Amino acid sequence: MIDSPNITDAEFKLFQKLIYKIAGISLADSKQVLLVGRLGRRLKHYGLGTFSEYHRMVSAPGAEEELQVMVDLLTTNETYFFREEKHFEFLAKNILAKHPPGRPFDVWSAASSTGEEIYTIAMVLADTLGIKGNWSVTGSDISQSVLAVAKRGLYWLDRTRGLPKDYLRKYCLKGVRENEGSFIISPELRSHTHFMQVNLNTTLPGMSKFNVIFLRNVMIYFDGDTKRQVVERISRQLLPGGYLIIGHSESLNGITDCVKAVQPTIYQLP
């Protein structure tokens, strides 16, 4: 196997600027090895000898498809069901418990990756408001490839980390034949979900407003100015009294005052 070409500091800076321009992501210097590992396969695919050549390729007019491939490779992150589970406990016990019966309840998973977060939310809503209840979950991501995985809702059984067995039994179906060793989210649960490609660093597409927005484990990749812009943009999509939930390693201190802290990582629009 041919090793990936080495990348120079100047070449790495070109990709840092490009991914920041497209997605607002500040790619740390420590991510140089990750970039080489993920983009090196594209250089091999095209028979390119340097990262400069690949940068010229994705920057050229008409290269939108390969540019999307690059974005997918650099923005895809691992996730799992019921990650940071205290947020889902808060959703069930502090938000849904006070929601008027029969009223619509809409949630946006704004960086839903391969779908584990959106289906976790859907399971909590189904368990609390009923599988036939008046609720919906929207999942979005900048990456088309992870959205394709999320829409399908098919996962290998080794991806059940964090997923309670009763939820696995109630809301998932065991894969058969060519899908043996996997499970798929039940059609009834998936009927409450829909997905769309959204770049949080640009003007948002036309969307309804939400009772709760999950914006978790994505702001760690943004600088201060981008965080402020993204949070203000996202907060405008909350209904009055709606909640914004961010990742446990994140904070909005000094970023915005448009939402107020309820407890660490959980904020509310007045």
* 8 A C-beta contact, residue 252 and residue 261: yes
Least Cα distance to 101 among 129, 136, 135, 126 occurs for 129
Amino acid in the structure at residue 73: L
Helix, strand, or coil (residue 58): helix
Q: What does the DSSP assignment read for 111-180?
A: T-TTTHHHHHHHHHHHHHH-TTSSEEEEEEES-HHHHHHHHHTEEEGGG-TT--HHHHHHHEEE--GGGT
Torsion sign across C-alpha atoms 146, 152, 156, 160: positive
Taking phi over 0 as left and psi of -120 to 50 as alpha, with beta for the rest, 16 belongs to: alpha
* 8 A C-beta contact, residue 230 and residue 199: no
Helix, strand, or coil (residue 3): coil
Q: How far apart are the first and last CA of the chain?
A: 58
R_g over Cα of the chain: 20
Q: Which residues belong to the active site?
A: 38, 141
Q: How far apart are CA 68 and CA 113, in angstroms?
A: 15
Query: Which residues, 6+ apart, have CB-to-CB distance to 257 below 8 Å?
Result: none
* 8 A C-beta contact, residue 234 and residue 200: yes
